[in-house]
Amino acid sequence: MGIIATGGGGTDFEQVPTGTHNAICYKLVDAGTTLNEYQGEVSKRHNVFIFWELPELRMADDRPMSINCQYTLSLNERAKLRQHLQAWRNKSFTEEELNSFDLTKILGTTCKVDVGLTSGGNAKVQGVFCADGGAKKVATVNDQVVFDLEDYCDEFSGKSGKASKTACDIFEGLPRFMQWQIGGCEDPGKDKVEPCFELQAAMKKGAPAPEIEPQKKAKKTEPAGEEFVDDDIPF
């Protein structure tokens, strides 16, 4: 399955320095639909994460540094995903693409990412731009993978198979906060986080039906003594 947008890693990574860096997309994560509060209004939002490796920035073990960014899975005019993808591709979307664009097409594609800092001092992607010479498909050091939420949910809805097992393996390698966002969290000392709506629905579908004991028919008992006949009770 693809991750379709429409018009309607772990803690072992070292901090990426600020600035503009060459990057290659190597992972896509469909994180499902959750409630989002913005300016006092609560709405549902379908989330997706894009991961990049930065081949010119290396960690102590010589692996490329990595960074990711969360997006709302939407291509409306004001959506950050649309703005970043158009800058990445260096062209606007066609009407046909806006109706159905498969994000998996960007796996292994080069670009540039502009990295800044959050208010807490963590690295964040501020912008995505076209690579020098245009976007190209290249090999990556990290495996190119897609976390398919639909496949993952099959593991909980009674449709377990090879694809759902693969999705479970990918899930185990995601950063902890992403696992919580998708699968929920009930760790002591932390606020309870509900699973994404897609996973909640799958769990309900896969839950075993409650056992219902057959009702026992009550035995009809005859009153002791002579037979009771009430001719005064109307039919």
| 23-27, 87-91, 206-210: range with lowest mean pLDDT | 206-210
Q: What is the per-residue pLDDT for 226?
A: 43
Q: What is the per-residue pLDDT for 13?
A: 54
Q: What is the per-residue pLDDT for 231?
A: 41
Rg of the chain on CA atoms, in Å: 27
Q: How far is CA 19 from CA 113, 124, 218, 231, in A?
A: 8, 10, 80, 99
d(CA 69, CA 116): 12
Q: Between these two residues, 37 and 8, which has the higher pLDDT value?
A: 37
Q: How far is CA 72 from CA 33, 46, 126, 132, in A?
A: 9, 6, 15, 27
Asked whether the predicted pLDDT for residue 9 surpasses 60, the reply is no
- Collapse the DSSP code of 217 into the 3-class scheme (helix H, G, I; strand E, B; otherwise coil) and give the result: coil
The distance of Cα 49 from the centroid of its chain, to the nearest Å, equals 8
DSSP bridge partners of 28:
50, 146
| 28-32, 163-167, 207-211: range with lowest mean pLDDT | 207-211
Mean local confidence (pLDDT), 13-31: 94
pLDDT tens profile 146-193: 999 999 999 999 999 999 999 999 999 999 999 999 999 887 777 789
Asked whether the predicted pLDDT for residue 24 surpasses 80, the reply is yes
pLDDT tens profile 49-69: 999 999 999 999 999 999 999
pLDDT tens profile 84-126: 999 999 999 999 999 999 999 999 999 999 999 999 999 999 9
Q: What is the per-residue pLDDT for 61?
A: 93
Q: What is the per-residue pLDDT for 7?
A: 61
SS (H, E, C) the chain: CCCEECCCCCCCCCCCCCEEEEEEEEEEEEEEEEEEEECCEEEEEEEEEEEEEEEEEECCCCCEEEEEEEEECCCCCCCHHHHHHHHHHCCCCCHHHHHCEEHHHHCCEEEEEEEEECCCCCEEEEEEECCCCCCCECCCCCCCEEECHHHHHHCCCCCCCHHHHHHHHHHHCCCHHHHHHHHCECCCCCCCECCCHHHHHHHHHHCCCCCCCCCCCCCCCCCCCCCCCCCCCCC
Asked whether the predicted pLDDT for residue 227 surpasses 60, the reply is no
Asked whether the predicted pLDDT for residue 235 surpasses 90, the reply is no
- Collapse the DSSP code of 106 into the 3-class scheme (helix H, G, I; strand E, B; otherwise coil) and give the result: helix
Single-letter amino acid code for the residue at 230? D
Q: Length of the chain in residues, anyone?
A: 235
The distance of Cα 138 from the centroid of its chain, to the nearest Å, equals 25
Asked whether the predicted pLDDT for residue 11 surpasses 60, the reply is no
Q: What is the per-residue pLDDT for 40?
A: 85
